[in-house]
Amino acid sequence: MPINLVITMKRQTIAVVLVLLGARFVFGDENVAVSIRFYDKQIYHLASEPILVQVTITNNGLLPYRFRLAEDRAFSVEFDVKTLQNRMVPQADALLRKRTGSRQVYFRDVAVETGESFSFIEDLRHYAAIEDAGAYVIQAKIYPEAYRASLDGAPDGTPAVLSSNRLQLTVRPPAIPGPDGLPVMLDVETKANLVREKLPPDEVVAWTINARQRSQWEKFFLYIDLETMVSRDGSRQRQWRTESEEGRARMVARYRSDLMAATVDGDISMIPSDFTIERTAYNAENAEVTVQCLFRQNNFTERRRYTYYLRRDSSFWSIVDYMVINLGTE
């Protein structure tokens, strides 16, 4: 549902304790509801795919609800993660470093009109150090005046924190490597192992698009070479070259979560209403597959031509790059 946003970019310096912000916003409003859900429910394993959670702030009151949202959401959001024995899971190291270092934090002022909602998506792994397989209960907290300022409370002494509903999360042990050495993923629908097959390039592309049409992320990523995709960008490529193996794994995990949230390479994660494979050309190692995709909107249809570039490694074809050309509307 669309909302009206009043956005003002500002800069605030945070050094261990945030500078107190002006008390211009509504705190602890019982007419403001925060809810969370899994953005794309799937089977989660230790230290593998991101755990994407959609956070929604809904205004059920009679007046607009205004709050501040940091561009780096670590200064506006927190997730409490507990085991079934009520043991708190420690915060992620990256989150602690952000909140205890000196840095500039950019934020915007957001106004949610009556009866409307504002949503965003966060990776739970960026907030909690989930290191053991098992069952967990998660709850989100929103700090309307940024992290430290909200902890100090509203002018009337009430806590300036909004809490969400609780979700149950199950994390399984690491996936078992398949015959090709890659981790075996499970099909959410059938619970069967997903193992790459020796498909020709055009069938690999068709598989990937079909998976996206069905919002089956575990299938969508099966034939995408994320390591190659993440290093296509010049700045990321330079970072990739200097990173350790652990750092590269974090880059791939972040890139995967950004693809799912459509914050990077949004063209490849768009959902076409229909598609036609126009041309396939390949040799022993490389392939190009051209696809025309239709995206139906309310009163028109947008046409785009995608060219997928694939590479064969260990007898399996994988998507390593793509290009998009807009063909207009009809």
pLDDT at 192: 54
Confidence of residue 321 (pLDDT cuts 50, 70, 90): very high
Statement to judge: residues 35 and 112 lie in one domain: yes
Query: How many separate domains does the chain show?
Result: 2
Statement to judge: residues 47 and 114 lie in one domain: yes
What value does the mean pLDDT of the chain take?
79
Statement to judge: residues 158 and 247 lie in one domain: no
**Does the pLDDT at position 279 exceed 60?**
yes
**The last residue of a domain, from among 139, 172, 205:** 172
- Of 71-85, 97-111, 153-167, 255-269, where does the model show the most confidence? 71-85
Statement to judge: residues 95 and 196 lie in one domain: no
pLDDT tens for residues 67-84? Answer: 888 888 888 899 999 998
Statement to judge: residues 164 and 191 lie in one domain: no
- Of 21-25, 40-44, 133-137, 307-311, where does the model show the most confidence? 307-311
Instruction: Examine residue 234 and state whether it is found in any structural domain, yes or no.
Output: yes
Higher-confidence position of 29 and 21: 29
Mean local confidence (pLDDT), 143-159: 57
CATH number at residue 300: 3.10.450.710
Least confident of 29-33, 155-159, 230-234: 155-159
**The last residue of a domain, from among 138, 172, 206:** 172
CA gap 297, 319 in Å, rounded: 27
Mapped onto helix, strand or coil, the DSSP state of residue 141 is strand
The percentage of the chain sitting over the pLDDT mark of 70, rounded to a whole number, equals 80
pLDDT at 166: 94
pTM of the model: 0.49
Instruction: Examine residue 78 and state whether it is found in any structural domain, yes or no.
Output: yes
Instruction: Examine residue 180 and state whether it is found in any structural domain, yes or no.
Output: no
Instruction: Examine residue 104 and state whether it is found in any structural domain, yes or no.
Output: yes
pLDDT tens for residues 37-48? Answer: 998 777 787 776
Instruction: Examine residue 215 and state whether it is found in any structural domain, yes or no.
Output: yes
The CA-based angle 120-122-128, given to 5 degrees, is: 150
pLDDT at 218: 80
For 319-330, the DSSP string reads EEEEEEEEEEE-
Instruction: Examine residue 1 and state whether it is found in any structural domain, yes or no.
Output: no
CA gap 307, 319 in Å, rounded: 10
22-72-47-250 Cα dihedral, nearest 10 degrees: -150
For 234-303, the DSSP string reads HHHHHHHHH--HHHHHHHHHHHHHHHHTTSSSTTTT---SEEEEEEEEE-SSEEEEEEEEEEE-SS-EEE
Instruction: Examine residue 42 and state whether it is found in any structural domain, yes or no.
Output: yes
pLDDT at 288: 96
What is the helix (H) or strand (E) element at residue 256, kind and residue range? Answer: helix 245-260
Tokens of 176: 């078992």
Pairing type for strands 77-83 and 102-112 reads unpaired
What is the helix (H) or strand (E) element at residue 78, kind and residue range? Answer: strand 77-83
Statement to judge: residues 272 and 303 lie in one domain: yes
pLDDT tens for residues 153-199? Answer: 444 444 478 899 999 998 877 655 544 444 555 555 544 566 788 89
pLDDT at 156: 46
Statement to judge: residues 160 and 18 lie in one domain: yes
- Of 140-154, 171-185, 218-232, where does the model show the most confidence? 218-232
CATH number at residue 43: 2.60.40.2360
Statement to judge: residues 232 and 324 lie in one domain: yes
Least confident of 148-162, 207-221, 259-273: 148-162
Least confident of 201-205, 259-263, 309-313: 259-263
Statement to judge: residues 133 and 256 lie in one domain: no
Write the single-letter amino acid at 134.
G
Statement to judge: residues 154 and 280 lie in one domain: no
**The last residue of a domain, from among 120, 141, 172:** 172
**Does the pLDDT at position 24 exceed 50?**
no
Statement to judge: residues 123 and 224 lie in one domain: no
Tell how far CA 109 is from the center of its chain.
Answer: 22
CA gap 234, 132 in Å, rounded: 36
Statement to judge: residues 195 and 217 lie in one domain: yes
- Of 29-33, 100-104, 186-190, 217-221, where does the model show the most confidence? 217-221
Higher-confidence position of 289 and 267: 289
pLDDT at 150: 45
Task: Tell me the chain's radius of gyration from C-alpha atoms.
Answer: 22
Residue numbers of the domain that contains 252: 185-329
Number of CB atoms found within 10 A of residue 126's CB: 21
pLDDT at 283: 92
Tokens of 159: 């806590």
Instruction: Examine residue 4 and state whether it is found in any structural domain, yes or no.
Output: no
